[in-house]
Each structure stands twice: as C-alpha cells, then as structure tokens.
Structure 1
Amino acid sequence: MTGTRIAISLTSIEHLTGGDVGGVLEFARKADAAGVDQLTVSEHVAMGREVIGYPYGAYPSTVDADWYEPIAMLSAVAAVTQRTRLSSSILIAPLRPAVLLAKQLATVDHLSNGRLEIGIGTGWQKAEYDGCGVPFEGRTVLLDEQVRAMQALWSNAPARFAGRRIAFEGLYSLPYPRQSGGVPVWFGIAPGPTNIARMAELGAGWIPWFGLPSGNGGGHTHREQALEQIADGRAHIHAALEALGRDPRQFGIRVMPEPAMGTHGYDLAATIAAAHDYVAAGATHLEFAPGLFCRDLSELDEALAAILTLQGGGS
C-alpha cells in the first residue's frame, strides 16, 4: 500500500441530519464522489444500562445513542456509491452465527461490486452478549473460528469446518464473494502475541483503537502511548507476516487520530495537523468521524475537504 488513505466514519452523521438516514446516505454519496478511500460504520447491537467494562477510560457516548446495524447499512451505502471501499469499525462478529455472517458479507460484496472489507472484533460489554444469548467468555476463540469457517465457506462447496464452537460439513453457501479469496478481514483486536499471529495468518489489516479523549487532561500522554503502541504493533505484525511469506506492504493499519480538544469541543484543524504522526508510526489509513467535529450539516463539506488534504501523503 502506498500513500495515506482516508477512511470516513458515517457513525454520528445522523446527529446532524435529525436522525434522517437518507441524509447519512447523501453524505456517503458525496464522500464517494470526493475520492474517499473507505467509508466505515461502527456498531453496538444493543447496550446495557450501565457502562461496565469499557477498556479505554471514560465511555465517550451514551447507552441510548443510535447505532445502525452495519451490514444492513453498508448494503444501502453500496447502492449509493461507486468506487470507495466499504468497511465496519468494528462489527462485533461473535454476536452473529458464522454461517449466516458469511452469507451476509458475500451478499454485500456482490451488491458493492467487490468493495467490501469487513472490520471485526469482540466488543467489550457483557450485557450485549447476554442479550444476544452468546457466552461472553471465549469470544476471541469464537472470533477466530468464525473467520476460518467463513473462509472455508467462501472457497469450497461443499465446505467443512471443525472447531470447538463451530462445526459443519457438506454445506453449500453460494455465491462466493465477488472478490477472489473472499472478503478481506481487518481485525480490531489488541496486538498481543496470539492476536498478532492471528492477524498475520488471516487478516488484511489491523484497526487499533485507543478511545476518545474525555476532556479531563492527559491527552498528550494518551496520544504518545497510542503512537508507541501502533509502531510496536506494526513491527511485530510485519515480522509475523514476513515469517509466513506475506508482503507487509499489502497489510493495512487503519487508525483514528485522537481528536484534539478545542474551546468548543473537538478541533478538526488541530487533529489534522497532528495526523501525520500516526502515519509516521505506521498507519496506512487515517479514519475520521466528521460528525464529531461539525455542529450542523453546513459544515460537513468543508470538513471533508480539509480531511482529504491528508490523502496520498507519505510518512
């Protein structure tokens, strides 16, 4: 991958459109026409009443916030865009049966003419798992088996897979994704040794996440720690890729630069000014959520144009 690529999160745009999803799709259309490299959607299937277990400090939203289901949302985005890649940031994959998820993703890949790159992870709230009837413990093992099972379904008919949590034999799940080899999978997981090996073997990219600033100070230290973790994770992932004979230049790292705090909320200009540090640390894709920086719809076009000034630059 050469040059910095720009990902734009559609999450929170609905706050600027009065909850009108049509306005979100119109912005997606504009972003596609402007040359954005990726459009992303975040998720929670459901939220418990208490924010328990969030690992990145103060939870930056509320439990009653709007969250569109990413697969359905990306289907709609696919219909109104032509060239930009589509992704999630992140889809909590273990909340969904692997065989169904494989079919859903293959379908969206066809609807988008082969533009889907799914970002997956395990989430953090136990109440969400309890509500979906999925065990919270062992969710990372389940995530690993899901990817392997989906890749089997995307490449063989009939397909078979035998894991601890997922097992099937003689299944036909057609059509395969439009992209040869299946839908590229990006992992939103911590870069420990087991996860690094998992990403090197199965992944097309890594989506590190460090949370959003709470406005209570310590932002500089938090940002410096994030940059160090990106650089360290990149070095270990690249070494693991090379050990498997994979080209690290084909592996993406998508990072959302920490929004800088201004007098009246998040400061987009200051955030853009500091974004090059993330590229220097190893990010191939910079992800921005314009909805965090804009007070109304009239500011979106200008914000998008400012973010795109970062596109294509190197470290």
Structure 2
Amino acid sequence: MAMIPMNHHTVHTLAIVFGILGNVISLMVYLAPVPTFIRIFKNKSTESFQSLPYLVALFSSMLWLYYALIKTNAIFLVSINSFGCVVEVIYCIMYILYAPRDARKLTIKLFVLMNVVSFVMIYLIIQFAINENHRVNFLGWVCTFISIAVFAAPLSIVVRVVKTRSVQFMPFNLSLFLTLSGVVWFAYGFFKNDICIYLPNVVGFVLGIIQMLLYGYYSKYGGVKDEKIEAGVVNIVVVNPLGTCEVFPISLDENEDIIEDVINQQIQVQKLGVEEKQEKSDDQTIGLQCVV
C-alpha cells in the first residue's frame, strides 16, 4: 500500500499536534502520585511507600531533558521533562522529610548514586569522550534503553493476570493510558524522524495493547483475588503507568473483602499495628509490593 505523501509543513504541523498531546498525557502521569504525597503530608509518614520509582522517574526526566537541550528544536521534550524534574524533585524531598531513618538514608544514597553520580558521569562522557557529531545519538540510545526498562516494569502484572485469571490489579484505565501515551509519543517521534523517541514507545504501545486484550479476555472470569507466594504470605502488586506504587500491609482477619476496601479506598494501616497483629495471630498478611 502506497504511503500518503505529506509535505514538510504537514509533517511539522502533525509533530506539533502530537507534541502537545504528549505533554498533556505525560503531565497527568507526573501528577498521578499527588494523592499519595498528600496522604504522606497529612500523616507525616511515608509508611511503607517506596522512593525508588520517583528516583527513577527523576533520572529519566533529567536524561531526556539533557537530550532535548543538546538536540535542539525539541521544545516539547524540554517542556514536559522540565516539569517532570521539578515534580519528581518535590516528591523526593517530601519522601526524605517524612521517611523513617533507614528509608531516608537509603533514599539519599540512591539519589546521590543515580541522580548525581550517574548523571554527572554520563554528562562528562558525552561532553568529553564522545565526538560532537555523535553526542545526540549516544545520549538518545541511553534514554531509549531506560525508557524501555520503565515500560517493561508492568510485565509482572501481565504474568500475575495470567496466573490468577483475574484483572483485579490491572485497571483498564491504566492500560488504556499506557497505550495512548505510547501512540502519541510514537507519532511525535515518527514525524520528528527520531528513532530514540518512537522506538521505546512502540514497546509501550505493544504492552498497552497486550494488557487491554488480557483485560478483555480475563474480565469474564471471577479469578482469584490473591496468590500465595510463600506460606502465610500473599503478595498483591499494583503499579501505575510511571512504575510508582504503594504498599499497604494489612491483616485480613479472615475477611477477604478488606482487600477491595484497601485498594478502592486506600485505607491507611500503620506498620506498628500490623506487626502487633502478626505477633498475636496467624492471620495472613497482604502486601501491595512495588515492581520497578
């Protein structure tokens, strides 16, 4: 089938349209954890939440912003990743402020290692060890590799859906959102003729389609609500489009309906209370574990 010919003006216009759409969708992704941090601020505690997803998101935004700046004529990448850097820095600062001592120390170490040392090393290598004509391509492939790794994070959810025959922990709207994001940024990269942008979003689009197909197939089954990973322990995984997640350890007290209450209403359970319950009874413990 012959390709529909498009002049330079049409291609440029389409790139602008998809760049704007990509910014809108990514903006909503970056703001997705806001309710979590409002809860952290109110409770003055990070509870069992993990900082790694936000550190990874910040690292990715920093690299893409650097890529956009040396590439030039990439205003939409500059705008959304500048916003992403600011938002993720705020998330990380709030986490450090309210995290317990061990979690705070680990977060600071990871931040220094990933967002300072690693980024500075990449910057120095590109600026002083890579020929000026190849800098954009080299950094672009680094960004591509990281983006593909982030997109691949929800694969564990796909495996769990197949094993449990339940879509309880793979919300359709998240799968749809992943697919739309992949389509929009693929189109932007395609019309900008930038393989480093559209290639990772092909992966995102394919994974999004797979998740929606699985949702359509397994939604007709009741499935099981949880899965025992080891004796007395049940691991339930919830991941949002950015790879960020929340951990809610609870004691069931032989009532499985509590699971849905935790997921839908995001009931807060203090870690100390859970440990006390575990010492007093042999009830199962549920943990929403992060997959990054």
Common fold, TM-score beyond 0.5?
no
Richer in strand (by share) = 1
- Normalised by the shorter chain, which TM-score bucket? under 0.3
Structure number with greater Rg is 2
Q: Normalized against structure 2, the TM-score is what?
A: 0.27
